[in-house]
Copies of this chain bind each other. A is one copy, B any other.
């Protein structure tokens, strides 16, 4: 097989139609150039140039080969470009997992920021609950997740993106609404509840249970998605504990009441990624996240 150098040499000679000038252009002397062309012709098995000692001409075969050689040289010169961009994280793909709740608050600005800073990185979005994100991250099916704690510190690194208040969603016109103040835990006794699934929405479940003594008799439904909860609240099936960002869901017939508690913003959202990930675009994204969240 011939060499890219030979192809480049041939292109130069074919364009100059003069070994001397071509050699100059290639920063070499004529003799080695002459030999390279001869070698190329031997490899291709065809006379590419007609030298009649006064002028150099392309043969018909040479003309065809010139096109191929040029394409080849150009392709070779450009080949590393993408690889370099990908390695620097400026080009590539990021597979982002997010929970339904984040989809309505955090996700938009988050993607906006990535899109601005990494315009050539393709973003692939998947809605997954935290647990699903964890396994996807472990399996390498996801690059980064927007999820709730806790995470295994050995496997994952994370950054706190957002803390927000815990609210109580009630059907519009509910008696609690008329209190006209932040709710206390004691206000909620005996209220029928739409609760989080202790397995699929463990974070919220634990968060709520930690703050409020739940009467399990009051639990009417157990669901895993915020939107489902709120729909059930709207349908008058009970009240539910939701993050402040659930307000933007804009479901009709639901009011949101702040719940007082020991921590002002107990509901946390983290960006989380696998420490083993080798995706350069992720590394880049992490830099960006850390730079904009310096805590």
Q: List residues of A whose CB falls within 8 A of some B CB.
A: 1-5, 7-8, 43-48, 50, 59-62, 64-65, 68-69, 71-72, 75-80, 82-84, 86-87, 91-92, 278-281
- Interchain CB contact under 8 A, B86 and A61: yes
Q: A80 is contacted by which of B46, B50, B60, B279 (Cβ under 8 Å)?
A: B46
Q: How many copies of this kind of chain does the complex include?
A: 2
Known: A1-B4, A80-B43, A80-B65. A281 touches B72 (CB 8 A): no
Q: A83 is contacted by which of B68, B79, B83, B87 (Cβ under 8 Å)?
A: B68
A60 CA to B83 CA in the complex, in Å?
Answer: 8
Closest-by-CB residue of B relative to A4 is B4
Closest-by-CB residue of B relative to A67 is B82
Q: A65 is contacted by which of B2, B59, B82 (Cβ under 8 Å)?
A: B82
A75 CA to B70 CA in the complex, in Å?
Answer: 11
Chain B residues lying within 8 Å of A77, measured Cβ to Cβ, are: 1
- Interchain CB contact under 8 A, B61 and A87: yes
Chain B residues lying within 8 Å of A72, measured Cβ to Cβ, are: 72, 75-76, 79
Closest-by-CB residue of B relative to A91 is B64
- Interchain CB contact under 8 A, B278 and A50: yes
Chain B residues lying within 8 Å of A60, measured Cβ to Cβ, are: 86-87, 92, 278-281
A62 CA to B80 CA in the complex, in Å?
Answer: 10
A162 CA to B64 CA in the complex, in Å?
Answer: 35
- Interchain CB contact under 8 A, B64 and A68: no
